[in-house]
Chains A and B, each alone.
Chain A
Amino acid sequence: MKKIPNTIIKKKYQKLIIGLLIVLVYYWAISGTGTSPTSFAQGIPHMADFIRRMFPPDFSNIGTFLLKGLETLQMAILGTTIGAIIALPLSFLAARNIMPNKFVYHTIRTFFDICRGINEIVWGLIFVSMVGLGPFPGVLALSAHVAGALGRYFSESIETVDPKIIKAILSTGANKIQVVIKGIIPQVKPAFINYILYYLENNFRAATVLGLVGAGGIGMELLTSMRLFKNQEVLTILMIMVGMVILIDRISATIRKRVVGIKTIE
């Protein structure tokens, strides 16, 4: 009889153990969170009742909600811009290929990790206690988080630039700063714009949630209407929020197409 090699048996057991581990991880996660399809099915009538009570939407305060929506947009624009301004120069110091000093590199990287590691909501709570209620702490919260996130993505983009282009610019007799301006920035510009636009959309959504901790904008209105069970107003606010997200998405897609130059595959 032909003997089955040990390696095949070993591989079979390995697969079995990995399979069992995956099942265990999911069982642990499901039992820990109480995720149950039965509870979900039982909750559907309540959900339907909630949605039914939202109709028809109440437009009586639409002017205020729209203004608050615009305030949220202002928060997102300012938060993203300030975050990008902080991240841009620092990201060059956190790119391994152009920053030979390891201490500077690790310090800036850690700064980005701290900024990014703390959620916008937590930053919101910190800044609300610092400067009081309103959209201003919201702007600060978004800036802090975005500086960390953009800083990391910017520096990673810089690390992927083509060194051959840098050499070509150097060979023209350009100085080091000119090499950064003409050799590195044009290579990373499309990625930078993509990240900034992505974070603008992301920050609009984050800014609505920030309202829940008192940091201004349409989120605060949503919280108030929900607490007062004004479900028809809740629907109006949700409609404004979704509409604005779609609008930002369309505008950023247009900018991206013009600046980054996406081509259609023929």
Chain B
Amino acid sequence: MIRIEGLTHKYEGREEEAVNNINLQIKKGESLVVIGSSGSGKSTLLKCINRLIDPTSGKIYIEEKEILNCDIHHATKIRGSIGMIFQEYNLVESESVLKNVLNGRLKYLSTVQTLFGKFSKEDIAIAKENLKVVGLGEYENERVSNLSGGQKQRVAIARALSQNPAVILADEPVSSLDPKLMKEVMDLLTTICKEKGITLITSLHFLEFAKRYGTRIIGMKEGNIVFDGLPEELTEKDIVDIYGKTKEWFLYGKTGF
């Protein structure tokens, strides 16, 4: 479903590549977890897939369509079919829960309709339905700033689902949550994606989570993929390869949860 060939990205003013010659194929419905230390290139890889970052070189095919060489209009369309969930939720805090979820329907609206906030009845019904799916049906009129971290991430999931996506990219979706909420959110996200046949690509810090929620794991170090396999294939040696014997190895790799 997603094929990445020779993907390289270098940030301006940096000497080393954030991701370096990545080659990857992701099957439809897969739950791929990307692990690695901070700065290993996990986020950059995810952001290249929906072109939030335009990579320096390489090719990305989604359903056999190359997405990096297309015009901005086409890129926007592709982006619309990929939901994204962020570590810090990235919601409009001063707006209601429903309004935030409705932002997932913007690709179906014209600019004039957006200006007047004219969402169709169908859009509103879809947004409300997705709020029910994430267990926040009663919170539609609540201001986002009044919600807890776990609830905010559920709103973000509902926003991504409202895009009716084929793929969801989750960039460290539980890093801002406490362990109990981490599990709740990951359970919810993986269950929904499995039910709806959505391909899920998640970057995670904690190994135990990666093993539990991934059907496949890739390990990144300094912009390169140093492990690609099934969760049960991940050995102690691989973990040291990915994290090195650093503080992060002890924190995320060795202890886990």
Give the interface of A toward B (CB within 8 A).
162, 164-165, 167-175, 177-178, 181-183, 186-187, 189-190, 261
Contacts and interface: CB of A to CB of B under 8 A. Distances in A.
Q: Which 7 A-B pairs have the closest CB atoms?
A: A173-B80, A168-B90, A173-B107, A174-B106, A171-B84, A186-B92, A164-B90
B91 interface: yes
Nearest to A261: B143
A189 B107 CA distance: 23
Nearest to B108: A173
A173 B79 contact: yes
Contacts of B111: 175, 177-178, 181
A177 B156 CA distance: 21
B130 to A, nearest CB: 13
Contacts of A261: 94, 143
10 contacts: A162-B90, A165-B91, A168-B91, A170-B79, A173-B80, A174-B76, A174-B103, A181-B111, A186-B94, A189-B94
A181 B102 CA distance: 13
A173 B92 contact: no
A90 B245 CA distance: 54
B119 to A, nearest CB: 11
Interface in B173-212: none
A135 to B, nearest CB: 33
Contacts of B76: 173-175
B236 to A, nearest CB: 36
Contact of B84 (A168, A174, A182, A190): A168
Nearest to B99: A186
B109 interface: yes
B163 interface: yes
Interface in B73-117: 76-84, 86, 88, 90-92, 94-95, 99, 103-104, 106-107, 109, 111, 114-115
A205 B3 CA distance: 65
B163 to A, nearest CB: 6
Q: What does DSSP make chain A's interface, helix, strand, loop or mixed?
A: helix
B37 interface: no
Given A165-B90, A174-B106, 10 more contacts: A168-B90, A170-B52, A172-B84, A173-B107, A173-B163, A174-B103, A186-B94, A189-B94, A190-B94, A261-B94
Contacts of A165: 90-92
B224 interface: no
Contacts of A177: 111, 114
A175 B52 CA distance: 13
B103 A172 contact: yes
Contacts, number: 77
Contacts of A178: 106, 109, 111, 114
B159 interface: yes
A261 B95 CA distance: 11
Contacts of B84: 168, 171-172
Given A169-B106, A172-B106, A183 B92 contact: yes
A177 B159 CA distance: 19
A85 to B, nearest CB: 16
B50 interface: yes
B145 to A, nearest CB: 8
B92 A174 contact: no
Q: Which of B52, B76, B77 has the most CB of A within 10 A?
A: B76
A177 B88 CA distance: 24
B92 A187 contact: yes
Contact of A167 (B52, B78, B83, B94): B52
Contacts of B92: 165, 182-183, 186-187
Given A177-B111, A181-B115, A187-B94, A172 B143 contact: no
Nearest to A182: B103
A173 B52 contact: no
A182 B114 contact: yes
Contacts of B94: 186-187, 189-190, 261
Contact of B90 (A167, A173, A182, A186): A167
A193 to B, nearest CB: 11
Given A186-B92, A261-B94, A173 B77 contact: yes
